[in-house]
Structure 1
Amino acid sequence: MIKRSIILSCLLSMAASYSSAQDWKPAGDKILTEWASKVDPKQPHPEYPRPQLTRTNNWQNLNGLWKYAVTERSVSQLPSNWDGDILVPFAIESALSGVGKSLSKDQVLWYQTDIVLSKKLKNEKTILHFGAVDWQCEVFVNGQSVGQHEGGFDAFSFDITAALKKGAKQQIALRVWDPTSDGPQPRGKQINNPHSIWYTPVSGIWQTVWLESVPKTFIKSTHQTPNVDDSSLAFHAEVENAQNGDLIQITAFDNGKKIAESSNAATETQQLKLQNISLWSPTNPKLYDIEVKLMRKGKVVDQAKSYFAMRKISKKADKKGIERMYLNDEFLFHYGPLDQGWWPDGLHTSPTDDALKFDIEKTKEMGFNMIRKHIKVEPARWYRHCDSIGILVWQDMPSGDLGGNIWDMHPGKFRAGKQDKDRSPASEAIYKKEWNSIMTQLHNFPSIVVWVPFNEAWGQFKTKEIVEWTKQKDPSRLVNGASGGNYQAPGDILDLHNYPEPAMPDPARFGKDFILANGEFGGLGLPVEGHTWQAKDNWGYQSFKSVDELKKRYRELITDLVKLTQWGLSAAVYTQTTDVEVETNGLMTYDRKVIKIPVSELKQINDQLYNPNLIN
């Protein structure tokens, strides 16, 4: 009778889930991408979410329809009544959540789901993972609090083994608070009253939720740094509950063929020596597979798979004595779009993984070799796509605690006195904690070549300290300390923003100290009827009425950029990949259904920038 009762309960739960999935539909009346119709409400984003440490045989995806409720912030107990269903992992404000509601600083968002543990979860420990939750949350399993987290852009997890009940059926719940622009936390372009360059808030779960089972002693993370000059990979694993004598064994493969192997104590960093390596670049995105085993007395305790690439990013002077960026000891002009990663239907979350990949593929086809990921952090799979496709990434830290700065856009006109913002100790701590976590979690992705701690003085504070700390934490990459902001401590790169024409800092004054970059220019607008966020009052930094006008102006800007490259410029960022809400200055419309200048023509125009003779 008990077994029949359990089976009946599971069948009723499945039937209810199927019924809810049948009722789900996007909320609101805004434009949608073509991938919106391909979202499966029974399990959106079903792909394995952690490409740099994979255990694909013992995990369970928890995306799908959960119950939700919005209550006053004072409510601390799980609600007894629910407002309806929300499709995880889409933020409550998004169309694809099926809700489309805003959240104020005086409210909290509750989630709950009843799950049946997969039979694949057979190891001793069960870990509950969240790709990202914006912003502050507490997680409950079967009514028991298992942990809290603050940070809207970094992944986190909790060991929930002790909170699990006997049997397969379990309950998971979250309490989320997100003040958006009323708080000091990193938030990027979100604002409570969207307008101009500021967009709809993103609250709650917005990346994949999943379970993983691991042994008592397991590989928690890895840290992999290529050394091209030494033909080696520095490798370190963080092992939970390691014992004396435990070893980490790493084996590298090239298309299934073993090419190198190393073993050392589980607590030590080891050097994997490599021979006849092929260097990663946008024209040769060569990746090597790696197998990691945790060994104890000759037996495998835990194992996972990963990958790496051999590439080097460096700063050195050209024949004229001007500092340049070199990839694998060869000059390569970095040119890419400002990519904000927003979607009309999912906001911070792409409708599907194919949609996530689409933007990168089109960027490469257009003749760009770089993307500046603008004050947002993407799911790990986005960086994996960049690694595989061959796109350099400049990674911004999401801005927060804005206002109160002096913004000095023009190097050479430095103002006397203090320019950094005075942030409270709590605000500073929030920034440092999340930036540290972001750099740690993204370290292994070879496509990332530049860290950008600050953008346009938005919340910029203690610049020298933050830039030096960023460089010390990761000396394998360059640091663009203040993209278009206050230039007290630029790091490796001096980065000027200018619209619409490209511009550059004076190479005679700054070129012997810094790589010179134009971190934002362009912003050429063309609204396309039927593909805009709103019917009117859309804008660009310079707007046009036809494709021919837009194309002509774009050609002029690239001609100017070629000249600047000859004079000392090493990188430029065009605004932007797609339209975003009321901004219509994208190369593509917000719904990705129209590419405004044909891809082949864009590539032909952009290819002028990669002539190595430009700096000779």
Structure 2
Amino acid sequence: MRFRYAEKDARMRTHTRLRRMLVASGAAVLAALVGATGPSAAAPPPADAPAWHVGIPPLATKWTGNVGPDNALPEYPRPQLTRDKWQNLNGVWEFARASAGQAVPAGTSLAERVLVPYPIESALSGIQRHEDRMWYRRTFTVPKNWGVGSGQRLQLHFGAVDYDAKVYVNGTLVATHRGGYDGFDADVTDALSGTGPQELIVWAEDLTDATGQPIGKQRRTSDHGIFYQGSSGIWRTVWMEPVPTASIDGLTTTPDVAAGVVKVTVAGGAGLTVKAVAKAGNKVVGQATGTAGTELRVPVPDAKLWSPDSPYLYDLQVSLLDGTKTVDSVGSYFGMRQIGTARGADGKLRIALNGKILFNLANLDQGFWPDGLNTAPTDNALKFDLEQDKAMGFNAVRKHIKVEPDRWYYWADKLGLMVWQDMPAANTGPIPEAWRGQFEAELHEMIREHSSFTSIVAWVPFNEGWGEWDRAATGRIADDVKAQDPTRLVDAHSGVNCCNSHGDSGRGDVIDFHQYLGPASPAPSGDRVAIDGEHGGFGLKTSNHMWFGDGQAYEMEPDKATLTAKYVQNQQDVITSAKACGISASIYTQITDVEGELNGFYTYDRQVAKMDLKQVKAINQKIIAQADGSAANLPQPPPGTPGLTGVAFWPLDGTAADAAGSHDASLVGGAAFVAGKNGDGVQFDGTGYLDAGAPVLNTATDYTAAAWVKLDRADGAFQTVVSQDGPTNSDFFLQYSGADQRFAMSFAGVRALAPVKPNPGQWYHLVGVRDTVKGELRLYVDGELAGTASACMPQGGPTGHTVIGRGKYGGNPVDYLRGTVDQVHLYDRALSAAEIRDLYTSGA
């Protein structure tokens, strides 16, 4: 306790120094009402107006002290559709708590001050608390040289408001919007009043996890685990620009490498002509002209292809013409690349970029910040995590159940990182029926808004089944996404083997397993590639750099050297999974700590690197070089011992003697002889087991375990029939899986499952087979094949005792059996289906 109090005191001293630094460096700035790029957008505040003050974040980043009213994300927020004239409306706004049904506070000053666009729960906002409903208010002035009212219109843009928003200009409702991760616009020209200051009021409601809305990892109350502080209200840039009456409202670019063109479609400007010009530097490489709303094919001959090693981007200039007159003109960019699949030398289907197999080595990126929560404090901060991914040798990133501002994807495009883009999840349970349409609408809007970013190579609608309500619906949604964007991969559900998943729908382009610590090892099947969607999660505590002063990880390490060694070995196993199983991507958890999760390469404040990053880069580069689709050259298993007696056989007729060898077992705890399936058997009461005193099976090659079992109960508890202790987990489990309420042959994280729930009090004959040639586990029930699972990763040799009646997981004995076992056989080979039927028929 003394350590924790000392740590807290040190952090408080740091935060006090931070506040003093901010106030001392800009007391006059802190009191200013508005900060914006370009001409002043607001009338000066009254002399007695309340001042904005930065809050004290539990942790400060190196960018926290750079944020103030005059520089709150001043960069142009829309890199793929740029105009010269624009004005940033970020800065200090008035703020107040709102109530349902409250009248719009038009013409009324609000009592508090908030720094937009930082969510109100964040320290940078200056509010630093949650409100279900809220008001924002400010004034702005339209520059005279914009010509609004004489053929020009004024567009107001909101990058994102979480979650429901209403926008008023001079008391007139000009926009409503639902959705926390997508942007919206409003033409406010007709609501303007004269040429002086204009009043802008925003109402926002965010009930977060109290509804079925998409929220990602946000929760109103953090659980110190895998969920985080929520982010409500305006959290992306607000800005305005003048546009012609007929204007370019949107722009979609789609590269077609095979055809040597980029497809360009302009939204807006109905009936007018569009001219698109592609440039490499100052050199025009191709141009095309057509009607607005139709697809233009702009030639890009001998294209320089975009890749992580060479992220080349072309410039694009698009003009809207009325006859020969240019009505509107915007700037953009694009990259030429193609994402698809190809078969490696080993015959397995793998991910390919530009026609060549390229392993997608990714970091998991949650996108949270201790000072700004959902909003990075500065553009340099936004870029920082991506720069570190590149520096550590990653070529991809999974944006985990969050959607970032456009500039994040711009930096991924520029730096050269392939992005797997998740849809933000709703709560972990099934989405309520009333919210399902909203979820799908936001999913398709996310894809529409981001369809032109070169870096995005895959869409991920569901994570671990969170929000998933029906397997058939998940498959349909995957098909709908593919129809919307056939140029990218669709990963219907990342972690289909995990948690709340309803199981594999068979749809999409990807089979995606999660396994901690992993890596996961699914195999490609049919026309779908396989990936490890999440693994790793090794942690390290770093004093004075932890959000809660403490935290957790999937496995905590004592120091930097051990953490690095664990990572290197884990990533070496990724190479094995790629070669033996055929995965073509892996995603490590994660780039930084986040609140109570301490499993990052960096601390949450981005101040401390927790591993030796030179070793990290070396193993990452090795993975990309070696996980290329070449054959694994795995050793063939020996023939094994013939016959159906096996290398060990416990008839359990009054003794625990081994009738086939020398591995006589001992009864431990609550295990006793009773009437069995054939003579006697052993009954277990949930505390006892049989111990063979040594490992019987060589788990580095093929083997089979068989037993008769009768369960006393079949509920949500795991129960193991036969296993062999490994260093941390059992090498295998012939078991009843409580999570699935079915029999299984399992490795940790992998289960070959029977199709139906067993009946307590009924005898079943279970056989589990490990087949290294096919790379799978097989389960047989009563002589018939009941389930298979991919298990292509090589196992190590035996380290612990063979046991009957319990398993081992996380270093501890677990999954004690409540039931009776009889006639246990172990074999040093994979029994054939015919042999298993004979064994069952014999009753032995």
- Structure 1 length-normalised TM: 0.91
CA drift of 1:437 comes to 1.0
- Counterpart of 1:248 in structure 2 is 274
Aligned to 1:40: 68
Cα displacement (A) at 1:96 = 0.3
Alignment partners' CA distance in 2, 1:13 and 1:330: 54
**Which residue, 538, 542, 545 being the options, matches 2:555?**
542
Q: Does 1:469 align with 2:480?
A: yes
SS at match of 1:579: coil
Provide, for residues 49-87 of structure 1, a one-character-per-residue CA deviation record: whole Å limited to 9, x for no partner.
Answer: 0000000x2111000000010022232432746231000
Distance 1:13 1:437 in 2: 33
The one-letter amino acid of 1:609's match is I
Amino acid at match of 1:68: F
Aligned to 1:189: 217
Distance 1:384 1:511, change over 3 A: same
Which residue pairs with 2:654 in the alignment? none
- Work out whether residues 575 and 627 of structure 2, in 8 Å CA contact, stay in contact via their aligned partners in 1: no
For residues 220-369 of structure 1, the aligned pairs below 5 Å read 220-240=249-269, 242-243=270-271, 246-369=272-395
User: Could you say which residue in structure 1 is the equivalent of 2:520?
Assistant: 503
The reply to whether residue 134 of structure 1 matches residue 147 of structure 2 is: no
- Residue 141 and residue 574 in structure 1: after superposition, are their counterparts in 2 closer, same or farther (change >3 A)? same
SS in 2 for 1:34: coil
Q: Which residue does the alignment assign to 2:238? A: 209
Unmatched 5+ residue regions in structure 1? Answer: 1-9, 405-420
Partners of 2:611 and 2:177 in 1: CA distance = 43
1:156-167 → structure 2 map (5 Å cutoff): 156-167=184-195
Deviation at 1:560, TM superposition (A): 0.7
- Give the partner amino acid of 1:512: G
Higher relative contact order (CA 8 A, sep 6+): 1
Q: Distance in 2 between matches of 1:87 and 1:171?
A: 17
Q: Distance in 2 between the 1:264 and 1:142 partners? A: 40
CA separation in 1, counterparts of 2:46 and 2:484?
A: 46
How far residue 380 of structure 1 moved from its aligned partner, in angstroms, is 0.3
Rounded to whole Å, the distance in 1 between the matches of 2:627 and 2:378 is 41
Cα displacement (A) at 1:16: 2.8
Query: Which residue of structure 2 aligns with residue 7 of structure 1?
Result: none
**How far off its partner does 1:273 sit?**
1.5
Instruction: Give the unaligned 5+ runs of structure 2.
Output: 1-38, 497-502, 631-844
Residues 492-514 of structure 1 deviation map (CA, whole Å, 9 limit, x = unaligned) = 01000000120211x3xx43342
Deviation at 1:120, TM superposition (A): 4.8
User: What is the rounded CA distance, in whole Å, between the counterparts of 2:263 and 2:538 in structure 1?
Assistant: 44
Aligned equivalent of 1:579: 593
Q: How has the CA–CA distance of structure 1 residues 15 and 113 changed in structure 2, closer, same or farther, with 3 Å as cutoff?
A: closer
Alignment partner, residue 54 of structure 1: 82
Q: Does 1:199 align with 2:213?
A: no
Structure 1 residue aligned with 2:172 = 144
The answer for the alignment partner of 2:678 in structure 1 is none
Instruction: Confirm whether residue 457 of structure 1 aligns to residue 486 of structure 2.
Output: no
User: In structure 2, how many angstroms separate the alpha carbons of the residues matched to 1:280 and 1:18?
Assistant: 54
Residues 13 and 300 of structure 1: CA distance in aligned 2, closer, same or farther (over 3 Å): closer
SS in 2 for 1:594: coil
Structure 2 equivalent of residue 219 of structure 1: 248
Identify which of 511, 528, 533 aligns with 1:519. Answer: 533
Q: Encode CA deviations 1:103-139: one digit per residue, 9 max, x unaligned.
A: 24xxx11000011223453351001000000000100
Distance 2:145 2:71 in 1: 17
Are the counterparts in 1 of residues 518 and 570 from structure 2 also a CA contact under 8 Å? yes
TM-score, normalised with respect to structure 2:
0.67
Q: Tell me if the contact between 2:358 and 2:624 (Cα under 8 Å) persists in the aligned partners.
A: yes
Q: CA shift at 1:198, angstroms?
A: 0.7
> What residue number does 1:446 align with?
454
- Rounded Cα–Cα distance in structure 1 between residues aligned with 2:169 and 2:63: 33
Q: 1:449 to 1:438 in 2, by over 3 A?
A: same
Asked if structure 1 preserves the Cα contact closer than 8 Å seen for 2:584 and 2:627, the reply is: no
> Relative to 1, partners in 2 of residues 1:16 and 1:479: Cα closer, same or farther, differing over 3 Å?
same
CA distance, structure 1, for counterparts of residue 46 and residue 261 of structure 2: 50
The 1:18/1:89 distance shift into structure 2, 3 A limit, reads: farther
Q: Is 2:568 aligned against 1:555?
A: yes
CA distance in 2, matches of 1:98, 1:17: 20
Please report the RMSD computed on the Cα atoms of aligned residues, expressed in angstroms: 1.9
Q: CA deviation at 1:352?
A: 0.3
Preserved contact between residue 70 and residue 110 of structure 1 (Cα < 8 Å): yes
Verify: 1:565 aligned to 2:578, yes or no: yes
Contact 2:514/2:534, CA 8 A, preserved across alignment? yes
One-letter amino acid of the structure 1 residue matched with residue 143 of structure 2: S
Count of aligned pairs: 577
**Deviation string, structure 1 residues 336-360 (Cα, Å, up to 9, x no partner):** 1110000000001000001001111
Q: Work out which of the residue numbers 51, 55, 68 in structure 2 matches 1:27.
A: 55
Tell me the CA shift for residue 599 of structure 1. 2.8
Match of 1:615 in 2: 629
Code of the aligned partner of 1:151? G
2:127 corresponds to which of 74, 99, 117: 99
Contact 1:60/1:118 (8 A) holds in 2: no
Corresponding residue SS for 1:512: coil
SS of the equivalent of 2:284 reads strand
Displacement of 1:315: 1.7
| Letter aligned with residue 473 of structure 1 | Q
Query: Does the C-alpha gap of structure 1 residues 116 and 13 become closer, same or farther in structure 2, counting only changes over 3 Å?
Result: closer
